[in-house]
Structure 1
């Protein structure tokens, strides 16, 4: 995508959602000037010049872009498959299904997921990429992120790999062959990726799949090679005989402010204390957590204030619109707090967490969890121009936005209401439609482009890819796959009800 040397966009007379120093959202009627990739000015009556692109925001809400801190973007071809599954079923049909994907399938899935994010107003994602079957798989995922226009932390993943599905599910006994860390080191010398270094390199590993010695070695290599952050699943459910991620990392002295743990629904008070002491952040994914058997989402419980953020987890389970996660977390938390009070025969006259609390999980708190709050998460002069423009005039928004624009977004909005999405000062969605993206030849900012690609063209390729992948997944016997997982992970067969 060729851009002029200096480009300016003026968002004129918008209802800007501006955070103050205490993270309160102050709706402010003002203009916002973008110059290149940054917010240059916020004030009333900025005089437009002839070279500026002016967007009339008189009947619009202008919000910082949403930040999704836990997602598996490669899973686009699985959309609709997991609607009635628990974690045991999802693990073989979703997580381990990356064994069926070619590097091209990964590219298509990753690009489809990233564009779905942009369409829904998410401008930054932490991508836990458990797709690493060859070096090319991860490189193609990275190339898709560069192509999409989304801001991302690509968490290169060391994970269990399927060796064979037939006659029974067997895992590769060596989760860390030499090429895994060699490829990470190679990528680390080339990061950050894309224009303005929009895509950073992180690392992902789950402690339950390797020894303490291997875990310490991998963390040391990831950190010494510039991993922006390290993420792990904090899943503790009855069906998996897995140790507590937080406990393992704490005992291994690996917790730190560069660690991001997803889910963590079973976190104890002792573990919570360790998280706070070490500066670790959490990512809650309420919709998948409540379906898959993880437990109640904890992100809006009072004792998790300051630690939490939000993610979608699997857009194969539900769509990428982050306010769906906000409203699910908000109402589930309110109900849980009320139930806890009732159990003690107490009554609290307050509603519990607020819509502002939920909104912040997907904006400024998400930026902190992703270690990017110096650049994104709020509308502030000098920060990156990652911005969503919502219509205030649709049937769902027209009265809600006049009363409380934050409540309008959290409780009333839909993807339809997201009119414009800007990332790094570049418009990626306009007039409610995604713009064409440009496919890069490589991962560098100056590697050139292969061709432009529209969403409709990508959708056709995704359908074809999904059709071929379904043939592979249909050839896997579900009972055999479940039995293989039970043998590998189930702590007590008597606790499984089928």
Structure 2
């Protein structure tokens, strides 16, 4: 443990030998397992061993899940975790320049390894609190090897399941000598001798074949911020050269023409879409691309992207997605569009937030559904809470009404990390002190005077 952890998270790494979740309403997200109005889940160590009715196991640690909904932990397919301490600093941002001014071109330049650690730690803890058990960490502020180490160690310390995509900073000074060799160094230091680690390694790179080649030499997935209208013209050449494949993960995919979607489908590129981010920042056409993806046989995961403008929970992503697709459908019908949009029901949106997200992360064989043999990454939602009871429809309750406060229990690999509505092992006073110290450093270094009532984040040259 390094000095910047400050002993903030100190939960014991203990998994009950046998756990029995009894009497839950089960949304398995597995067609063969199905859903159950009242059922049980048997977990041995880190693995789901049975899902059914009237299960029993001698000596099991029993969780009474009466009036609770059991479902897979949610998957955030794209989050810039290092920005955790910048939450809601820019709530009214309306374009990507607004976002970049509040991150890359300002505070990002002054991040120390300790700030990266605190950002990742806070984001990962927030994910667990919100029922997100897996996150793809898009880390595009890895200024030195120490910054990269800090990002990985925060994820490991929290105990979340994560894919850490190590990327280069967008602006400011950084140690170019460690790039892209940093990828191999990270792989050897944290992952080569630990195949059971909850955290795995990927890379973050734009449409750069040289960097992609290095990633593929190391066997690492490649995460790309992909904006369809801007970048579609490059797809055909990349595809013809055999440079697109199932190890590519494309974020956003806004405004991508049909020809581009066909290429992504043929190449097996993994996709995630951003219901809130694309609209909030007016990315290209401002509409998340689920309709076009589904039309071409691609089932994208959902992603929060960042917390600098809005909340970090997947419930809001599903709700925004539900209503945006309704608006899209009405617009297409009113305009006589050639494409008839079939809006997705609540159950299908929950699949995007769980199993489809797991597939985007390349973890669909491990997580994303309550399937015997998979890892026990799951959550229990207290449907007896005042805002949820009575649960007239289980999928509707989760997608349209549930919130972070309704999550009673979170398990990752069979280990209970939240129970009774409280995340385990967090020294809240130390966490807040570390966040405050980090913000004070960043604000001072950037010459920023915070105003919690401001309508907008002003570029630093206007605030200095």
The TM-score range, normalised by the shorter chain, is 0.7 to 0.9
Change (3 A) 1:248 1:388: farther
- Contact 2:20/2:61, CA 8 A, preserved across alignment: yes
Equivalent in 390, 404, 409 of residue 381 of structure 2:
390
Equivalent residue, structure 1, for 2:179: 180
Give the aligned CA root-mean-square deviation in angstroms. 2.7
Equivalent in 130, 138, 153 of residue 163 of structure 2:
153
TM norm structure 1:
0.82
Compute the displacement of 1:316 (Å). 2.1
Q: d(CA) in 1 for partners of 2:68 and 2:161?
A: 23
Change (3 A) 1:412 1:186: same
Equivalent in 413, 428, 436 of residue 455 of structure 1:
428
How many equivalent pairs are there? 439
- 1:221 correspondence with 2:231: no
Compute the displacement of 1:467 (Å). 2.0
- Contact 1:159/1:206, CA 8 A, preserved across alignment: no
- 1:197 correspondence with 2:210: no
Equivalent in 117, 138, 146 of residue 148 of structure 2:
138
Give matches, 1:32-431, under 5 Å.
Answer: 32-50=41-59, 52-85=60-93, 86-96=95-105, 97-163=107-173, 177-192=176-191, 196-207=196-207, 215-227=208-220, 229-235=221-227, 246=235, 249-250=238-239, 253-294=242-283, 295-301=286-292, 302-344=294-336, 352-399=343-390, 401=391, 403-431=392-420
TM norm structure 2:
0.88
Q: d(CA) in 2 for partners of 1:279 and 1:17?
A: 28
Cα shift readout 1:151-210 (whole Å, capped 9, x = no counterpart)? 0000011343313xxxxxxxx7xxx93411222111122443879310000010122xxx
Change (3 A) 1:269 1:454: same
Is the deviation greater in 351-360 or in 383-392?
Answer: 351-360
- Contact 1:265/1:297, CA 8 A, preserved across alignment: yes
Change (3 A) 1:423 1:99: same
Q: d(CA) in 2 for partners of 1:281 and 1:456?
A: 40
- Contact 1:106/1:137, CA 8 A, preserved across alignment: yes
Cα shift readout 1:438-472 (whole Å, capped 9, x = no counterpart)? xxxxxxxxxxxxxxx42342122112211221122
- Contact 1:235/1:245, CA 8 A, preserved across alignment: no
Partner-residue secondary structure (3-state), 2:438: helix
Equivalent residue, structure 2, for 1:210: none
Is the deviation greater in 379-388 or in 72-81?
Answer: 72-81
- Contact 1:367/1:373, CA 8 A, preserved across alignment: yes
Cα shift readout 1:377-405 (whole Å, capped 9, x = no counterpart)? 00010100000000011122112x2x211
Q: d(CA) in 1 for partners of 2:84 and 2:188?
A: 29
Change (3 A) 1:44 1:270: same
- Contact 2:356/2:368, CA 8 A, preserved across alignment: yes
Change (3 A) 1:329 1:6: closer
Q: d(CA) in 1 for partners of 2:440 and 2:295?
A: 46
Q: d(CA) in 1 for partners of 2:423 and 2:234?
A: 39
- Contact 1:300/1:330, CA 8 A, preserved across alignment: no
> Structure 1 stretches (4+) deviating beyond 4 angstroms?
1-6, 241-249, 345-348, 475-482
Q: Which runs of 5+ in 1 are unaligned?
A: 164-171, 208-214, 437-452, 483-498
Q: d(CA) in 2 for partners of 1:183 and 1:346?
A: 48
Q: d(CA) in 1 for partners of 2:324 and 2:256?
A: 17
Partner-residue secondary structure (3-state), 2:90: coil
Compute the displacement of 1:255 (Å). 1.1
- Contact 1:298/1:304, CA 8 A, preserved across alignment: no
